[in-house]
Structure formats: structure tokens, C-alpha cells
């Protein structure tokens, strides 16, 4: 094939092996789509303690055993195992270093609720080990595609430690930002533990940021190109000081190299016609199964089933970003609209407490599951009538797109990827695919929900809306195409240099 690219894709979570949020879905679906497009893609991720080696048939790789990786004063012996993304031929390498990765949590210790104290060493080691691993594989990538702060030191390392290495002469680095609020920021004392010179903590260094070291900033400075996961978020992070999280200036300086590409949906995983995780399959042509899923969801949630009462689903990390303070502020008004709510999420303890209180206060109307449960997530998508995402900000958001395919009408705040995917029904009844509110307050949220509830009561219009939503196509191919065009443009410009 002409223009076949070797793409190394780096992520610290990849579904179904390890997932805390949307990144895992992207890191599985995009490599798959690139592979189907004819490119040679390999993925590297850490081997965490809860990745089942048997279930996914992880194999040892003889030449990738006991690779010495220096972090601080010590060489750490890293080995790699390999497997395929399920039902594909996309090769995934798992970097195995038990003292750092043999844990069931990835970034935050759920026992304490705070970040692991050795996160800087863990992910710096991962970045270094990635580069040594591919050298040992003799597999020279054209593109090294990094994601978020955990892999952001790769472009920095290439620029600073490997600039003379002919093995990487061709390599172009892409850094995708899935959420700018997570930056990998550590006190400058960390430099010593990483074995890096002290002066890198001083102003003017790519690694320094507001008196600390910052992995994401180093990556954003060093990468050849920066992408983020929706066009609107790409603009917001340059212009909105809150969303820019202290990096607006740098992002503006690099605006020629920054672009937003909307994530897609992996319809092999999120499709009510084939979904093995839901009790009854359904399609736009035959919606009977959706009713069964709603009944089943109500049974799971221990809420009374009534087809005339709209069920609103929520699936989310419980973080400030996601708008739970709004949900709490609007709850009484929402429940007065005679809706039921099923909420699935884990995260910050304050939201665990808040949601528990709400479900206890309204046992007939609110059910809360404070856990991570993929199967239940699919059932909520399939069995709810509406899906609520009142995010303060949302780089892309996947659940609104999953909801569309399951005929579950999204109610969203107009921000980031939500603004790029959902059109308000009342503003445009011919193209609308959800209900949108703009102002971040409880009144605006309530008004959007009440508009949705009003339409729900008009069964004919509601069914028509459901069918339109289910037919929309947000598949990965369009997004993968955009990435490939970007890769090729970069490759050509590098050749010319």
C-alpha cells in the first residue's frame, strides 16, 4: 500500500485491558481504525496488576526481557509482554515492571484517594522504556503518537536525549491532549529522583512550569504537533483561562501546530444491534428491545418501572469537571418533573457522599451505583430514555455519542466536544439530536431537562427523534482519516527538511 505508515501508539490505558475513562476507548479504537486503513500500528501500555494474562493471552517476548532503564541512580529491569487487541491483529506491548505497575489502580490510590507518590518515576520510566523497547524491536516508527501527560515525556526525551540517534531520525511526534487539567506536575525536588539535572527546574526550561516540573508542558513544547479531542476544546484551551489551566500562552504560541479532531465511536463495542452486554438487542427499525432494557434497568436499579416516566442515565467519573454540583443543586426541581435517574460513577469521595444522600432521600426516583461497571454502563445506555452530561468542561465526551446510537437522547451543556456533537432540538427541530443548555447553572439545566420531558410526552415526535439519533454516524473512520492526513502532512514536511 502507498503511504503505509508505522505508527507507535502510546497510552497508559487501553480498553479492554485497563480503563478509567474515555482515553482507554480511544486508545483501542483509533489504532484499530488505523490498522484497518492499512497502516502498521503498534500500541504500548503498562502491564498493570489486574490485567488478566490468560484471558488476553499475553506472551513473553524473548528479546524484550530485563531491559535496564535508568531512573535516578538505579537501573530498573523492565520486560515486555505482547498480545493483540481482542479480535484484531493490532499488536499491543505491555511493559512489565512490577514495583511500579503491579497495582490495581493506575494513577490514584483508591485506598487513600490521592495520587500515588511515585507517579513521576513510574511514568518517566514508562516513557524511557518505550523508546528502548522499540529500538530492541528494530521497528522504526514514522509516527510516535503520545497521549496525555503520562506519555508526554517521550517527545521531550527524543528532543533532548535521542536527537543524534539515527534510529529516530524519521520519527514525528504527536501529542494528543484528552484533558488539559491533568498535567503531571511535580515539585522540582523530583528531578533528582528522576536522575535529571537540577537546572531543568529553572525558568526557561521546557520542563519548568510555575515553579514546578510539568510533564505535559514539556511534551507540548517538544512535540512536532499537538492535537486535542474536539475542535471546540482546541479553541477553548487557548482562549479560556479556566480551561487553559495555566498553559493558554504556550498553546497560543503553538496554535499553528495545534488541531482538534473529534473522537469517534467504536460501533463494534457500542451498538445495540450486536451488544452482548445488554439483555435485549434493538435497532432503529425495531425499538421493542429498548423497552425490555428499560424494564431490566429498573429491576437492577430497584426503581419502580413505569413506561410513562422518563429515565435519565448518567455514567461518569465523579469529578468537578462533570457537573455533579449542578445535578445536586437542581435535583429537587428535576425530580419534580417526575423523572427517574440512574447514576453510575466513581471518583471523588465528596461526590460519593452526595450521591448516596440523594438516593437515600429519593428511593423511588434515584438509584446510584458507586462502582466501575462496564456491563451496567451498557445497560444504562440501552435502558434510559435520556442521558445527562452537564459538564463544566468536556474535551470530547463519548457517552453522548454512545447514547445517540442507543436512542437515548442526550441533554448536555454546550462546551467542548458536547458543543461539537449535539444540536438542540428546540433550536432546530429538523436536525436536533438532543437538548443543550449554555449557562452553567441549575436553572439552565432544569430548563433543558424540562424541554426534554415535554417532548417525551409527545410520543410520535419522541420516537421520530430517537430514530434520527440512532442513524447518525460518529464512527472512527472519519477521525482516523483526519489523523492519517495529519501524519502524512508531517511526514512530507519532515522529508523536505
Nearer residue to ligand ADP within complex by CB, 201 or 397: 397
Shortest reach from residue 345's CB to ligand ADP, in Å: 5
Residues 409-448 that bind ligand ADP (CB under 6 A): none
* Using rule CB under 6 A, residue 209 touches ligand ADP: no
Rg (CA), the chain: 23
Site string for ligand ADP, 94-133 (x = CB under 6 A): ----------------------------------------
Shortest reach from residue 49's CB to ligand ADP, in Å: 19
Shortest reach from residue 28's CB to ligand ADP, in Å: 11
C-beta separation of 175 from 227 below 8 A: yes
Q: Residues in contact with ligand ADP, total (CB under 6 A)?
A: 18
Shortest reach from residue 346's CB to ligand ADP, in Å: 5
C-beta separation of 311 from 383 below 8 A: yes
The residue whose grid cell reads 537501573 is 75
Which of 184, 84, 92 shows the shortest CA–CA distance to 133? 92
Q: Which of 377, 404, 442, 466 binds ligand ADP (CB under 6 A)?
A: 377
The residue whose grid cell reads 470530547 is 396
Q: 378 by DSSP, 3-state: which?
A: helix
For 468, other C-beta atoms within 10 Å of its C-beta total 17
* Using rule CB under 6 A, residue 399 touches ligand ADP: yes
Which of 290, 180, 160 shows the shortest CA–CA distance to 235? 180
For 169, other C-beta atoms within 10 Å of its C-beta total 11
Nearer residue to ligand ADP within complex by CB, 383 or 397: 397
Residues 226-265 that bind ligand ADP (CB under 6 A): none
C-beta separation of 106 from 136 below 8 A: no
* Using rule CB under 6 A, residue 219 touches ligand ADP: no
Q: Pairing state of beta strands 108-109 and 114-115?
A: antiparallel
* Using rule CB under 6 A, residue 373 touches ligand ADP: yes
C-beta separation of 304 from 371 below 8 A: no
The residue whose grid cell reads 489502580 is 105
C-beta separation of 131 from 146 below 8 A: no
Nearer residue to ligand ADP within complex by CB, 461 or 475: 475
Among 78-86, 193-201, 202-210, 342-350, the segment contacting ligand ADP (CB under 6 A): 342-350
* Using rule CB under 6 A, residue 271 touches ligand ADP: no
For 217, other C-beta atoms within 10 Å of its C-beta total 25
* Using rule CB under 6 A, residue 167 touches ligand ADP: no
Residues 302-321 that bind ligand ADP (CB under 6 A): 315-317
Shortest reach from residue 377's CB to ligand ADP, in Å: 4
The residue whose grid cell reads 526481557 is 65
Shortest reach from residue 325's CB to ligand ADP, in Å: 16
Residue 386 half-sphere exposure toward CB, CA atoms < 13 A: 27
* Using rule CB under 6 A, residue 90 touches ligand ADP: no
Residues 10-39 that bind ligand ADP (CB under 6 A): 21-23, 25
User: With b meaning 16 or more CB within 10 Å and e meaning fewer, what string describes 97-126?
Assistant: beebbebeebbeeeeeeeebeebbbbbbbb
* Using rule CB under 6 A, residue 348 touches ligand ADP: no
Nearer residue to ligand ADP within complex by CB, 100 or 233: 233
Contacts to ligand ADP by CB under 6 A: 21-23, 25, 315-317, 344-346, 372-374, 377, 396-399
Amino acid at each position: 500500500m502507498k503511504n503505509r505508515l508505522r505508527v507507535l501508539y502510546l497510552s497508559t490505558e487501553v480498553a479492554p485491558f485497563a480503563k478509567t475513562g474515555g482515553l482507554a476507548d480511544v486508545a483501542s479504537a483509533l489504532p484499530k481504525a488505523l490498522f484497518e486503513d492499512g497502516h502498521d500500528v503498534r500500541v504500548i501500555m503498562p502491564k498493570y496488576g489486574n490485567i488478566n494474562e490468560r484471558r488476553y493471552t499475553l506472551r513473553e517476548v524473548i528479546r524484550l526481557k530485563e531491559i535496564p532503564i535508568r531512573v535516578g541512580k538505579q537501573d530498573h529491569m523492565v520486560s515486555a509482554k505482547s498480545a493483540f487487541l481482542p479480535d484484531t491483529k493490532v499488536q499491543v506491548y505491555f511493559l512489565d515492571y512490577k514495583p511500579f505497575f503491579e497495582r490495581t489502580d493506575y494513577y490514584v490510590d483508591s485506598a487513600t484517594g490521592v495520587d500515588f507518590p511515585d507517579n513521576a518515576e513510574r511514568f518517566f520510566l514508562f516513557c524511557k522504556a518505550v523508546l528502548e523497547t522499540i529500538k530492541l524491536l528494530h521497528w522504526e516508527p514514522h509516527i510516535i503518537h503520545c497521549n496525555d501527560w503520562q506519555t508526554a515525556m517521550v517527545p521531550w526525551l527524543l528532543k533532548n536525549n535521542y536527537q543524534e540517534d539515527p534510529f529516530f531520525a524519521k520519527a514525528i511526534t504527536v501529542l494528543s491532549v484528552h484533558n488539559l487539567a491533568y498535567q503531571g506536575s511535580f515539585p522540582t525536588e523530583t528531578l533528582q529522583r528522576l536522575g535529571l539535572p537540577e537546572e531543568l527546574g529553572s525558568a526557561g526550561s521546557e520542563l519548568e512550569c510555575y515553579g514546578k516540573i510539568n510533564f505535559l508542558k514539556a511534551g507540548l513544547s517538544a512535540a512536532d504537533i499537538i492535537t486535542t479531542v474536539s475542535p471546540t476544546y482546541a479553541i477553548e484551551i487557548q482562549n479560556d483561562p479556566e480551561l487553559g489551566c495555566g498553559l493558554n500562552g504556550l498553546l497560543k504560541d503553538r496554535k499553528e501546530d495545534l488541531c482538534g479532531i473529534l473522537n469517534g465511536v467504536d460501533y463494534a463495542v457500542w451498538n445495540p444491534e450486536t451488544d452482548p452486554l445488554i439483555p435485549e438487542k434493538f435497532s432503529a427499525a425495531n425499538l421493542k428491545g429498548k423497552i425490555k432494557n428499560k424494564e431490566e434497568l429498573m429491576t437492577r436499579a430497584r426503581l419502580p418501572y413505569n413506561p410513562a416516566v422518563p429515565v435519565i442515565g448518567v455514567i461518569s467519573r465523579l469529578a468537578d469537571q462533570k457537573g455533579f454540583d449542578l445535578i445536586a443543586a437542581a435535583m429537587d426541581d428535576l425530580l419534580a418533573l417526575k423523572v427517574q435517574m440512574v447514576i453510575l460513577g466513581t471518583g471523588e469521595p465528596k461526590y460519593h457522599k452526595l450521591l448516596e444522600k440523594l438516593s437515600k432521600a429519593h428511593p423511588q426516583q434515584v438509584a446510584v451505583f458507586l462502582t466501575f461497571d462496564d456491563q451496567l454502563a451498557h445497560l444504562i445506555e440501552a435502558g434510559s430514555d435520556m442521558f445527562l452530561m452537564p459538564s463544566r468542561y468536556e474535551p470530547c465526551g463519548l457517552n453522548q455519542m454512545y447514547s445517540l446510537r442507543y436512542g437515548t437522547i442526550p441533554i448536555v451543556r454546550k462546551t467542548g466536544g458536547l458543543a461539537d456533537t449535539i444540536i438542540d432540538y428546540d433550536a432546530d427541530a429538523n436536525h436536533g439530536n438532543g437538548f443543550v443548555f449554555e449557562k452553567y447553572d441549575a436553572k439552565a439545566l432544569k430548563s433543558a431537562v424540562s424541554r426534554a420531558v415535554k417532548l417525551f410526552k409527545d410520543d410520535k415526535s419522541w420516537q421520530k427523534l430517537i430514530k434520527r439519533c440512532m442513524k447518525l454516524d460518529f464512527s472512527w473512520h472519519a477521525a482516523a482519516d483526519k489523523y492519517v492526513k495529519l501524519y502524512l502532512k508531517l511526514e512530507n514536511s519532515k522529508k523536505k527538511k
